[in-house]
Copies of this chain bind each other. A is one copy, B any other.
């Protein structure tokens, strides 16, 4: 049974289990520091499909299927799929998962969607509304670039604060029982908008949302950063990570070296020319569903806060002069 704690944290009394997880990525992501930890690395960004959008759907299908296989489950055993992506009308999820004909509850939190999906799955399983839920998210550099920015053929220059959308998908299967990694709690993010308008500086837009959620969770649970082995943000990357630490320091919270960021972990910024780091719904999802859950499963970490961040804008809102609202959803992961 989910139990509320403090203002806005929900503790899962049955601690739903990550029954299986998988991450599949593109070539560039496979060449990064975490490359050996992924379940599959596609050498061709089309994944054999006729369009990049169809390729992104293929990524979701692959991650979903592999997570199920690793857990020894079939698609028909999944009660609900919580899925999302960055494409208009979330078509990577819809088309990638339609053949499985499972109840689909589409989630949209931009790059925070993997944490939002995990939080939903945890509440559904912990409450008895579901036995088994799947969570899947994805992004693809080529679909995001042409939808949000410019045609790839244009070869636009990118400022140093820009981030590189990951070609990746991560999926986790959530159920009850067994040892392994568990979802202990969740804290949903509020929309925070400090007025950043530079669509090439998502890290700056998202950092205040991450700081807000982390601070509220620590207050709700009466814990300190020292109580966790790692505090891992989604994709604040280089610029946003510095800002997050500044914002939290102002509130008397020092994350120190236990702060990690998926956008900084996925790529080698020295060698891979990704400017400020990685981003996209697939960035935090693929790092979670390989490196992070792996370290928890091997008990190298015991207690981790995972806070995926999302910039809730669109090209239309940017063109209309709007600033960039952001959100950050937190899940607490423990290994037992």
Residues of A within 8 A of B (CB): 1-4, 8, 10, 50-51, 53-54, 79-80, 84, 86-91, 94-95, 97-98, 100-110, 116, 119-120, 123-124, 126-131, 147, 188-193, 312-317, 320, 322, 325, 327
Contacts and interface: CB of A to CB of B under 8 A. Distances in A.
B53 A317 contact: yes
Nearest to A76: B7
Contact of A316 (B87, B189, B327): B87
A43 to B, nearest CB: 23
Contacts of A88: 88-89, 314-316
Given A188-B105, A190-B102, A53 B127 contact: no
Given A128-B2, A317-B53, A91 B188 contact: no
Contact of A127 (B2, B104, B325): B2
Given A86-B89, A89-B314, A316-B88, A1 B105 contact: no
A108 B91 CA distance: 11
Q: Which 4 A-B pairs have the closest CB atoms?
A: A127-B127, A106-B108, A103-B188, A89-B314
B89 A110 contact: yes
Contact of A10 (B51, B87, B94, B129): B129
Contacts of A123: 123-124, 127, 129
* Number of copies of chain A assembled together: 2
B104 A105 contact: no
A1 B124 CA distance: 11
Contact of A107 (B108, B119, B126): B108
A1 B312 contact: no
A101 B188 contact: no
A200 B181 CA distance: 47
A106 B103 contact: no
A21 B205 CA distance: 33
A325 B103 contact: no
A312 B91 contact: yes
A120 B123 CA distance: 10
A8 B79 contact: yes
B192 A101 contact: yes
B189 A103 contact: yes
B87 A314 contact: yes
Given A127-B2, A317-B95, A104 B327 contact: yes
Contacts of A116: 105-106
B110 A107 contact: no
Given A4-B129, A54-B320, A191-B97, A105 B107 contact: yes
Contacts of A320: 50-51, 53-54
17 contacts: A4-B79, A4-B130, A50-B320, A80-B188, A86-B89, A88-B316, A89-B108, A89-B314, A89-B317, A91-B312, A91-B316, A91-B322, A94-B312, A104-B191, A105-B107, A123-B127, A123-B129
B127 A1 contact: yes
Contacts of A84: 108
A236 to B, nearest CB: 19
